[in-house]
Structure 1
Amino acid sequence: MKDILRLSLPLSVWIAAFSGVYGLEGVVCSDRGAGAGLGLGQGRAVLVVAWVVAIAVQVGLIFGLRTPRFASAQPWVQRVSMILACVALVATVWSLLPVVTTSLCL
């Protein structure tokens, strides 16, 4: 059961971060974000922080999966989980990069 968690956790964290960051962008661009006193400058700062936190969590997963405490006893599970963690890190950087580099609220 732990091996399934090792294999699925990195990509699950990526999709949660993707959903959370783009949902947050929707709030920033909506009337509710402006009503809460969240301007575009503050909204961009919050989105950048969320992007950095998502990347840090993915890097933490890579290091965590390499520790003896969370490593799998089966070598193939260890290899596949590390590959998936690296894929999830690249996916996090790439899919959330437009939040940082493009203009908000088009």
Structure 2
Amino acid sequence: MTDILRISLPLTVWIATFSVVYGLEGVVCSDLWTAAGLSLGQGRAALVASWIVAIALQAMVLIGLRIPRYGSSLPWVQRVSTILACVALVATVWSLMPVVTTSLCL
């Protein structure tokens, strides 16, 4: 991995998972979901599962950046990428929590 990839990966994964989860919510709340014969309960389950997968993916990025094989040889890059991975993990939990805790399709 190059150092720029190590630094940019955590927040890139966060914005990608954010877009996927809220895009899925848009599909669940649209007529396409019910036209496919799926219920809102199944939509809620899909959203919760996608939230859990997003958190797991961010945790894997954090762990991966801490492994010496994928980590940087430069200490400052190691610190910055680890801090950004922690920030991205917290951002994933916090910004996608409304999918789990609020009512669906208001």
Long gaps (5+) in structure 2? none
Long gaps (5+) in structure 1? none
How many angstroms apart in 2 are the aligned matches of 1:22 and 1:37?
Answer: 21
Number of equivalenced pairs = 106
How many angstroms apart in 1 are the aligned matches of 2:38 and 2:6?
Answer: 37
How many angstroms apart in 2 are the aligned matches of 1:37 and 1:9?
Answer: 37
How many angstroms apart in 2 are the aligned matches of 1:2 and 1:36?
Answer: 43
Deviates more, 1:71-80 or 1:29-38: 29-38
Match of residue 94 from structure 2: 94
How many angstroms apart in 1 are the aligned matches of 2:11 and 2:28?
Answer: 25
- Describe how 1:1-106 pairs up with structure 2 within 5 A: 2-106=2-106
Once the 2 structures are TM-superposed, how far is the Cα of residue 37 of structure 1 from its aligned partner? Answer: 1.6
Corresponding letter in the other structure for 1:92: T
Once the 2 structures are TM-superposed, how far is the Cα of residue 20 of structure 1 from its aligned partner? Answer: 0.3
Percentage identity across paired residues of the two chains: 75
Corresponding letter in the other structure for 2:105: C
Runs of 4+ in 1 over 4 A off after TM superposition: none
Normalising to structure 2: TM-score of the pair? 0.98
